[in-house]
């Protein structure tokens, strides 16, 4: 247990170094701080950590957590780093990409990029009641039925949560995350 924690620390340190290396190597829009999708990639991993999937969501005990990126991949490779990470349930993460939902295997987290915004409601409908955390890249995605959607505020990346949808799913989001997330305003149930 302790050894595993140690290895986690090692990996954390390694990730930090990698992040710094990448940050230094890759061109950035703002010289200070990480880029938007760098943060969003990290947030994706964070959501994986703060969400509980039912055991039935996995094929077996060693099955990885699959993150699907639907549409055009905006992460510019930043998300790949997540493949080297494990989540709290000690599962590896696996990134899959596809243009349509049909292109993808069963995912645990489905990132629906801005390019698939118009198809989002259909996907959500399709995945309703399934153990898939749906994350939209646009501020209105939640209104369309995504569980979580990113938006920018005061030059910071923030997210909303669609509690209604989440409650309908078998997923359990950490209340701390729920607290951070802006509840969907307006006519959302």
User: 57, 30 in Cβ contact below 8 A?
Assistant: no
Decide: is 17 part of the binding site for another protein (CB under 8 A). Answer: no
Provide the minimum distance between the beta carbon of 176 and another protein in the complex, in angstroms, as a whole number: 4
**Distance of closest approach, residue 19 Cβ to another protein, in angstroms:** 10
Exposure string (b/e) for 44-75, b if CB count within 10 Å is 16 or more?
bbbbbbbbebeeebbeeeeebbbbbbbbebbb
Which of 104, 108, 105, 106 lies closest to 116 in space, CA to CA?
104
Smallest gap from Cβ 21 to another protein, in A, equals 15
Q: Tell me if 172 contacts another protein by CB under 8 A.
A: no
Decide: 123 and 134 in contact? Cβ < 8 Å. yes
Contact flag: residue 28 with another protein (CB under 8 A): no
Contact positions toward another protein, by CB under 8 A? 4-5, 8-9, 11-12, 16, 39, 43, 46, 49-50, 86-88, 156-159, 174, 176-177, 179-180
């Amino acid at each position: 247990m302790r050894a595993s924690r140690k290895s986690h620390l090692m990996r954390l340190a390694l990730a930090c170094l990698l992040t710094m290396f990448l940050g230094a190597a890759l061109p950035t829009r703002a010289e200070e701080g990480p880029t938007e999708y760098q943060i969003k990639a990290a947030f994706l991993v964070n959501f994986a950590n703060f969400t509980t999937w039912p055991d039935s969501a996995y094929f077996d005990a060693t099955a990885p957590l699959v993150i699907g990126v639907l549409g055009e991949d905006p992460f510019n490779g930043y998300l790949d780093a997540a493949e080297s990470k494990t989540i709290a349930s000690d599962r590896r993460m696996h990134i899959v990409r596809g243009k349509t939902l049909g292109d993808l295997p069963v995912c645990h987290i489905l990132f629906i990029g801005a390019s698939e915004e118009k198809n989002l409601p259909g996907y959500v409908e399709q995945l309703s009641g399934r153990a898939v955390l749906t994350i939209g890249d646009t501020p209105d995605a939640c209104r369309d039925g995504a569980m979580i959607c990113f938006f920018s505020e005061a030059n910071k990346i923030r997210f909303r949560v669609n509690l209604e949808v989440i409650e309908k799913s078998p997923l359990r989001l950490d209340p701390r995350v729920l607290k951070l997330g802006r509840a969907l305003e307006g006519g959302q149930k």
